[in-house]
Amino acid sequence: MAAQETATERLSRLLTMVPWLMNRQGVDIAEAARELGVTQDQIVEDLQLLFVCGTPGHYPDDLIEASWEGGVVHVGNADEIARPLRLGRDEALALIVALRALAATPGIAAQDAIERALAKLEEAAGAEGRAAAQVSVSLEVGETEQQRLEQIREALAGPRRIHIRHYNPTRDETTERDVDPMRVVSLEGRWYLEGWCHRARDVRMFRLDRIEELEVLEQDGTPPSGVSPRATGTSAFRASPGDVLVELELAPSAAWIAENFPMESVARRDDGSLRVSLLAADPAWVRRLVWRLGGQATVVSPAELAAETRDGAAQALQSYRVH
């Protein structure tokens, strides 16, 4: 099932759709759907919405005219949004700086297109755009992460395979893996390497600050045919159908857990304590986490995990009494 579209996403499409249709009067509805990347039914739903949109007043003459009889689309009375918007000075500068940061990110596809767009934007901005030349773009990474980025950039240019030693805090284990790098992405303030992992035989993401060692190998680092980066959105976390929903009670001193792990829900109380829920592929790491917190966290559900966590803690305490 496709993800439900947000109001912001639909508005963005409508603002693109109107000038496109205004300049292609009589376009076939199937062609419009194909060019705009949606279904024909979605085009009809969008036109029905446009039919009741317009400028303040909402009299018939204020509304956008839209028709799609006979499978062809006509749009009128939308001259205000039919012309491309002009960027202000601050907007142009912000876009120039953003493009420079994007061009500096390893693994970004279509670097040539980014450079061409940047050159055209700087030329169009003229004297005002030259102020952006005074801005220095620096990726927000530590010294070690910067070194990792340079190594990954080298590997991507090859392309060459890399060997990493990576720490996984959820399993409290360190593994060594060979990876064919695909790109580097920044999500939730963290940098990740994404690539084809030969150990997992699948695409995986590795947080740069958890890569303890990285070596660029001589082997070809081209990912298998048909493999592509995952759609990440704004989060690196990817749930699986078999994940277990776990509910925890956290004392105020353990509130950092909610900020360091992907959460399904977080309920904060006035005293600083929290009730949170999260998805766990392997509930064993939740038990270890609760044991390490030493009473600052309690498993609420599922009941089986709560019992296993309680029994494990009791056995540990009994061992201390014996010795």
Highest mean pLDDT among 54-58, 116-120, 234-238: 116-120
How confident is the model over 34-51, as pLDDT tens digits?
Answer: 888 888 888 888 888 887
Residue whose structure tokens are 């509130």: 255
pLDDT at residue 84, rounded to an integer: 56
- Predicted confidence (pLDDT) at residue 113 exceeds the cutoff of 80: no
Mean pLDDT to the nearest integer, 195-204 = 89
CA distance 138 to 207: 19
Q: Are 181 and 220 in contact (CB under 8 A)?
A: no
Q: Which segments within the chain are labelled E, that is strand?
A: 27-28, 65-67, 72-76, 160-168, 173-187, 190-197, 202-207, 211-220, 244-250, 265-268, 274-280, 297-301
Q: Are strands 202-207 and 190-197 parallel, antiparallel or unpaired?
A: antiparallel
How confident is the model over 4-18, as pLDDT tens digits?
Answer: 566 667 777 787 888
The string of DSSP letters for 237-259 reads ----TTPEEEEEEE-GGGTHHHH
pLDDT at residue 153, rounded to an integer: 84
pLDDT at residue 115, rounded to an integer: 73
For residue 218, what pLDDT band results from cuts at 50, 70 and 90? very high
Query: Residues 124, 128, 132, CA angle at the centre, nearest 5°?
Result: 95
Window from 63-67, 70-74, 195-199, 211-215 with minimum mean pLDDT: 63-67
Percentage with pLDDT > 90 across the chain: 10
CA distance 235 to 322: 46
Q: What is the SS3 assignment for 13?
A: helix
pLDDT at residue 77, rounded to an integer: 79
Q: Which segments within 88-233 are labelled E, that is strand?
A: 160-168, 173-187, 190-197, 202-207, 211-220
- Predicted confidence (pLDDT) at residue 127 exceeds the cutoff of 90: no
CA distance 183 to 228: 10
CA distance 93 to 90: 5
Query: Where do the domains of the chain lie, and which CATH numbers do they carry?
Result: 7-81 (1.10.10), 89-134 (no CATH), 143-220 (2.30.30), 244-322 (3.30.70)
Percentage with pLDDT > 70 across the chain: 73
Name the β-bridge partners of 250: 274, 297
For residue 132, what pLDDT band results from cuts at 50, 70 and 90? low
Residue 286 exposed, middle or buried by CB count within 10 Å (0-12, 13-18, 19+): buried
Distance, CA of 70 to chain centre: 40
Phi, psi for 13 (deg, rounded to 5): -65, -40
Average model confidence (pLDDT) across the chain: 78
Report yes or no on whether pTM surpasses 0.75. no
- Predicted confidence (pLDDT) at residue 2 exceeds the cutoff of 60: no
pLDDT at residue 259, rounded to an integer: 77
pLDDT at residue 110, rounded to an integer: 56
H/E segment holding residue 15: helix 7-22
Window from 76-85, 116-125, 167-176 with minimum mean pLDDT: 76-85
Mean pLDDT to the nearest integer, 64-83 = 79
Q: What is the SS3 assignment for 35?
A: helix
For residue 181, what pLDDT band results from cuts at 50, 70 and 90? very high
